[in-house]
Amino acid sequence: MLVLNIVNLFLKGEHMKNVILILFSFIALIAIFSTVPVTAKSAIKKSSKKIIVIDPGHQQYANIDVEQIGPGALKTKYKVTDGTHSPYTNKKESNLTLEASKMLGNTLKKRGYKVIYTRTKQNVNISNRERANIANKSKADIFLRIHADGSIDKKEKGFSILTPSSKNPYISKSINKKSLVISNEIIQKIEKNKKIKDIKGIIYRDNLSGANWSKVPGVLIELGYMTNKEEDKKLADPLYIKSLTNSIADGIDQYIKKK
Ligand SMILES: [Zn+2]
């Protein structure tokens, strides 16, 4: 029809401006139609990426206002604390968790995951419940909380994963089971890593606000003890953290593959 219109206009001897206008509309229409499938394709590709929300534990300063430890809970806890620290170097847990989280996030991005952080800097004020909400709103496939341990007993050391027990009253049975599967997959990869000598394993905990407010599967990883001199030294080595985070990413791959 357009071609016929153009020919007719020529025949009628109308002004060239009309012809150019029609030609431009024609080109614009082709341009619009040719871009639609590309946009749709990339949207599909983006939405198929698995989403990992990483929560670098703690923050620069504690917020000692309280919040319920889970939906309907009578117990409350501080909104967020500033964590442990190394008595040898004075490094804060919140610094270590941020470094390790970024390393893990970069590895996961390279492996094709969409990574969302609850925080990317020290000076924030985000409660543990709010961190869980970030994971919930993002519809995360996995909510990974990264922490390091501290103890009065300086001999205490080892990597561990905190996961909800089967009796946890705040989360659904399905989220509970999936969280345990994630814990198992990660611990198996950690056990195969020859660099990691001290492993405490999986520990059941039901008093963690960040886990209890979560509507997506998740685990809390304790990288090791900053209060143990030998382990603190390892945790300060980027190569050791890289090795740890690679094993964590391997565990995540394994869980996603089987899902
Ligand atoms: Zn912590």
Together in a domain, 75 and 161: yes
Together in a domain, 25 and 128: no
Q: Are 64 and 80 in contact (CB under 8 A)?
A: no
pLDDT tens per residue across all 259 residues of the chain: 555 554 454 445 556 555 545 555 655 555 555 555 554 555 555 568 999 999 999 999 999 999 999 999 999 999 999 999 999 999 999 999 999 999 999 999 999 999 999 999 999 999 999 999 999 999 999 999 999 999 999 999 999 999 999 999 999 999 999 999 999 999 999 999 999 999 999 999 999 999 999 999 999 999 999 999 999 999 999 999 999 999 999 999 999 998 8
Together in a domain, 70 and 168: yes
Q: Tell me the per-residue pLDDT of 97-152, one tens digit each, with 9 for 90 and over.
A: 999 999 999 999 999 999 999 999 999 999 999 999 999 999 999 999 999 999 99
Together in a domain, 39 and 55: no
Together in a domain, 159 and 242: yes
Task: Provide the CATH number for the domain around residue 143.
Answer: 3.40.630.40
How far apart are the CA of 147 and the centre of ligand 1, in A?
Answer: 4
Together in a domain, 140 and 210: yes
Please give the torsion angle defined by the CA atoms of residues 110, 114, 116 and 120, in that order, rounded to the nearest 10 degrees.
20
How far apart are the CA of 37 and the centre of ligand 1, in A?
Answer: 47
How far apart are the CA of 45 and the centre of ligand 1, in A?
Answer: 35
Cα angle 58, 180, 82 (rounded to 5 degrees) comes to 10
Q: pLDDT value at position 232? A: 98
Q: For strand 142-149 and strand 114-117, is the pairing parallel, antiparallel, or unpaired?
A: unpaired
What tokens appear for 100 in the block? 């390790």
How far apart are the CA of 58 and the centre of ligand 1, in A?
Answer: 6
How far apart are the CA of 27 and the centre of ligand 1, in A?
Answer: 59
How far apart are the CA of 222 and the centre of ligand 1, in A?
Answer: 7
Q: Which domain holds residue 126?
A: 50-258
How far apart are the CA of 68 and the centre of ligand 1, in A?
Answer: 18
How far apart are the CA of 149 and the centre of ligand 1, in A?
Answer: 6
Distance, in Å, from the CA atom of 108 to the CA atom of 250, rounded to the nearest integer, reads 9
Q: pLDDT value at position 48? A: 87
Together in a domain, 21 and 58: no
How far apart are the CA of 56 and the centre of ligand 1, in A?
Answer: 9
Q: Which residues contact 88 (CB under 8 A, 6 or more apart)?
A: 229, 232, 233
Quote the number of domains for the chain: 2
Local structure of residue 95 (DSSP, 8 states)? H
Together in a domain, 72 and 87: yes
